[in-house]
Amino acid sequence: MEFDQSWRSIPVRVYYEDTDAQGVVYFANYLRFMERGRTEWLRAHGVQQSELMQNLNLCFGLQDTNIKFIEPARFDDSLIVQTRVTDARGARIKFEQCVRRHSDDGELLASADCVAACLTADAYRPTRLPQNLFSLPSD
């Protein structure tokens, strides 16, 4: 399956609700930021997940995540979540993701490798990715 391996970036602002008592982003919220990144990568490549579910009875479920925390993000930080697909075959899509501080140096805060499985939406059983699932980016 052919797909675009370039990075897709989205901005994320750290809100008070994202932080712990010390004003540091709670570790689980990096997963939320990365979920947004994966969703926007799919959207940029012509995959609307709601339409996928309604029209093809398909959805994605995260199967595996390996995340490395490097530096903390803090309340009111401006972040960039970068996402790209490194492999897509069978029923799996492999994503590489980075969360960086939105600054001149783009300090790396966290990185992850994630594997999402293509599933039937009604029974949550693995199924092959549709052959021409990804289109070229629209921008």
The catalytic site residues sit at 20
DSSP structure class, residue 47:
-
Antiparallel, parallel or unpaired: β 8-13 and 108-120:
unpaired
Q: Which residues sit opposite 108 in a β-bridge?
A: 100
**Dihedral (CA of 122, 127, 130, 136) sign:** positive
Tokens of 60: 């994605």
The first and second tokens of residue 134, run together, are 């990804």
Torsion of CA 30, 10, 97, 77, to 10 degrees: -40
Cβ atoms of 68 and 114 closer than 8 Å: no
